[in-house]
Structure formats: C-alpha cells, structure tokens
Amino acid sequence: VGIPIGYNWSTLTALVGWAYGWVGLVDVVIGSQMSALNGYYLDRYCFKSWVERKIAGLPEKKRTYFDAAKSVIEGGSAGFLMQIVVRVSPVPYGISTAFLSSTCNINIFLYLTTTLIGTTPGMITMVNLGVVVRRLGSFSAAAAS
C-alpha cells in the first residue's frame, strides 16, 4: 500500500481490506509508514527546492498560512498536535508529506509517529469498507445496506 504515486491510497487500502480482511490492516500500517519514510527522504533531499519554489509562487496570503503552520509545527507540543491535524485533514497525503518533510525542520521519528497517529483513523475506515464489501459481495450491495 506504500505507493507515493499512482493509485489513490484509499482505494488501495480498501482493496487490501477486501482481499485480506482485518489482517490486512497490518500491511496497510507498514506500507503507509514505509511510504511516509520514503516520501520524507525523497522530499527532503531531492525535491526540497522544487517545493520551496512552489510555495514561493503562491499568493502572499497563502504563503502566510504556510509560514504560520510551519512555525507551529516546529514549535513544542503544539507542533506535535499540528502535525497530526495535517495528517487527519483532507489535504492529499503527498502534499502534506512534501510540506512536512521538505519545509519543516522536524525529526524523522516524530514525523513517523504523527503520521501513524494521524492516518490510523483513515486506515481503519478504508479497511473496514473493504471488509464490508467483501461480506456483502459487491459495492452496490454495500451501498444499499
């Protein structure tokens, strides 16, 4: 499931739930952590200047929001909570990974911990969807129930 590009993360997670049931949640957790780890190092060391150029090209008001979020994230305990909020929010996974890893000066272990905490609700939800669809036999039967 740890694919930083390609199919949508939630689609793959639901398919893992359909194929493996609740045991697949272990695969989803490991895959998501490996994807976060790969994204962290790729964004930090290969795409940092590109991400910074993209942020610099934004209107000043949006850059101000990025700067405010960055200062909170790099702060103390509020930074821990802010990273979790970024992961729980509907911001696409790749964008939040690029922002957290290439623009914020955060520790890799803290980054992986907040990623695990912030993405776990979505992982459980999507694996559950796959399990329900498997039990009912199709997406249309699941939607009708």
pLDDT of residue 139: 65
Per-residue pLDDT tens, the chain, 145 aa: give them: 444 454 577 888 888 999 999 999 999 999 889 988 998 999 899 988 888 888 889 899 988 988 888 889 888 778 899 999 888 888 777 888 888 888 888 889 999 999 999 989 989 999 999 999 888 876 676 677 6
On whether the CB atoms of residues 130 and 13 are closer than 8 A, the answer is yes
On whether the CB atoms of residues 63 and 94 are closer than 8 A, the answer is no
pLDDT of residue 52: 86
pLDDT of residue 1: 43
Contacts 24+ apart (CB under 8 A), 19-27: 19/130, 21/131, 21/134, 22/127, 22/131, 24/127, 24/130, 25/123, 25/124, 25/127, 27/1
Q: b or e along 10-33 (b: 16 or more beta carbons within 10 Å of the residue's beta carbon)?
A: eebbbbbbbebeeebbebbbebbb
DSSP per-residue letters across 39-96: HHHHHHHTSHHHHHHHHHTS-HHHHHHHHHHHHHHTSSHHHHHHHHHHHHSSS-HHHH
Q: How far apart are CA 145 and CA 143, in angstroms?
A: 6
